[in-house]
A and B are shown apart, each in its own frame.
Chain A
Amino acid sequence: MSWFLSHPLTWLVATLLAYRLGVHLRDRTGHPVAQPVLVGVVLLAAALVLLDVDYATYAEGTTIVTFLLGPATVALAVPLHRQLGRLRGYALPLVAGLLVGVVVSVGSAMLLVRLLGGDELLARTVAPKATTAPVAIALSRTIEGVAPLTAAIGITAGILGAVAAPTVLTWLRVREHRARGLATGAVSHGIGTSRMLHEHPVEGAFSGLAMGLTALATSLLLPLLVPLFLR
């Protein structure tokens, strides 16, 4: 049994099966919480804890899945290219929206954590949470936060977007497809984008674009914003 549980293929197949179950639930129920990423994470995490398998064993088995994130991110250029005409005349909303987003994401996270009793280290740790995981980790190191915790918080923000972004945007009366995509990519990076690709082609394309530009803008602005919000 322990041989089976430590075999890399076991966890690769288990991940694929849990994801397939998630897709099935999404298509059958249409419920926003039935996101394949959430179903997969909950089932696999429960299995690891119950069977007392350490995360390193699991991560080794699923290396190929994580590896494909690279080419999949590059592939986001294809939906963006298909919607490129919709960028014409949209420079101002795009740039202004994303810059406001970076300041609000960074500033509100830092101030709220301090308000709720967190220390300065925790404020630094949450600052880059809206960016895609590799950027969040690198930025957290630069501003002397706790990088693994930053990654965990960022991924949670992503899953929150995959589950709730379309519903919340409708509550907020944001109906224009480009604005919906931008907002989701700006706060929930690639994981939010994965949901928007299923919602609408324009929303998916603009979400991917927002993910890339938010990563860039946050990298450039964070060294200025962190001292500002720590005072």
Chain B
Amino acid sequence: MRVVSGLTWLLGCQLVGEVVVHALDAPVPGPVVGMVVLLLVLLVRHPPEGSSVHQAADALLPHLQLLFVPAGVGVVVYGAVLRQDGPAILVALVVSWLLGLAAVGWTAQLLTRERAG
């Protein structure tokens, strides 16, 4: 029953998120707004550690990688036949990914140090 209760909270927050996105025509997905909604619920209700929401999250999140497998399979199956500029895309992707990672990591770390010091 606790699994059902926890999942109901998660899906309920997702539904609220979907409704908000639809009503405001917001440029973010329903589940991301649902994440904010659940955060607000947790802040207001203060459920104790081990509540049904905690249990559902702790059951799902360790297996987050499983949930991306079907999308990844689609990339490989379609990717092989997609376009001839594959190498250009791949190089741009890897370099841009690296630059983005460094930019965020260094900016955040630098500003943290300066404030601490």
Mutual binders A and B? yes
- Name A's B-contacting residues (CB within 8 A): 15-16, 18-19, 22, 35-38, 40-42, 44-45, 48-49, 55, 58-59, 62, 65-66, 68-81, 84, 89-90, 92-94, 96-98, 100-101, 104-105, 108-109, 112-113, 115-118, 122, 126, 129-130, 132-135, 138-139, 148-149, 151-153, 155-162, 165, 168-169, 172, 174-176, 178-180, 182-184, 186-188, 190-191, 193-195, 197-198, 204, 208, 210-212, 215-216, 219-220
A81 to B43, Cβ gap below 8 A? yes
Partner of A113, one of B39, B58, B88, B111: B88
B61 to A113, Cβ gap below 8 A? no
Residues of B within 8 A of A113 (CB): 88-89, 92
Residues of B within 8 A of A79 (CB): 57, 61
A109 to B93, Cβ gap below 8 A? yes
A174 to B65, Cβ gap below 8 A? no
- Name B's A-contacting residues (CB within 8 A): 7, 10-11, 13-14, 17, 27-32, 34-39, 42-43, 53-54, 56-58, 60-80, 82-83, 85, 87-109, 111-112, 115
A109 to B96, Cβ gap below 8 A? yes
Q: Given the known A-B contacts A55-B73, A75-B56, are A93 and B68 also in contact in the complex, defined by CB atoms under 8 Å?
A: no
B39 to A193, Cβ gap below 8 A? no
Partner of A72, one of B64, B89, B101: B64
A135 to B29, Cβ gap below 8 A? yes
B contact patch SS: helix
B65 to chain A, nearest CB (A): 4
Residue of B whose beta carbon sits closest to that of A63:
B70
Mind listing 15 A-B residue pairs with CB under 8 Å?
A16-B66, A36-B66, A37-B68, A59-B74, A70-B30, A81-B39, A81-B43, A101-B104, A130-B100, A135-B29, A162-B65, A180-B105, A183-B101, A191-B68, A212-B35
Complex Cα distance, B100 from A105, in Å, reads 5
Residues of A within 8 A of B10 (CB): 71, 74-75
Residue of A whose beta carbon sits closest to that of B38:
A77
B40 to chain A, nearest CB (A): 9
Partner of B65, one of A35, A130, A139, A184: A35
Partner of B89, one of A49, A126, A210: A126
The total of interchain contacts (Cβ-Cβ below 8 angstroms) comes to 318
A70 to B74, Cβ gap below 8 A? no
Apart from A77-B39, A138-B27, 20 more pairs, CB < 8 Å: A15-B69, A62-B69, A73-B32, A75-B10, A76-B61, A77-B36, A79-B57, A92-B115, A97-B111, A108-B100, A112-B91, A116-B88, A122-B88, A149-B83, A155-B75, A168-B98, A183-B100, A183-B104, A208-B35, A215-B32
B116 to chain A, nearest CB (A): 9
B92 to A90, Cβ gap below 8 A? no
Q: Given the known A-B contacts A105-B100, A109-B96, A161-B97, are A72 and B67 also in contact in the complex, defined by CB atoms under 8 Å?
A: yes
A169 to chain B, nearest CB (A): 6
A168 to B101, Cβ gap below 8 A? yes
Partner of B92, one of A73, A84, A126, A168: A126
Residues of B within 8 A of A108 (CB): 92, 95-96, 99-100
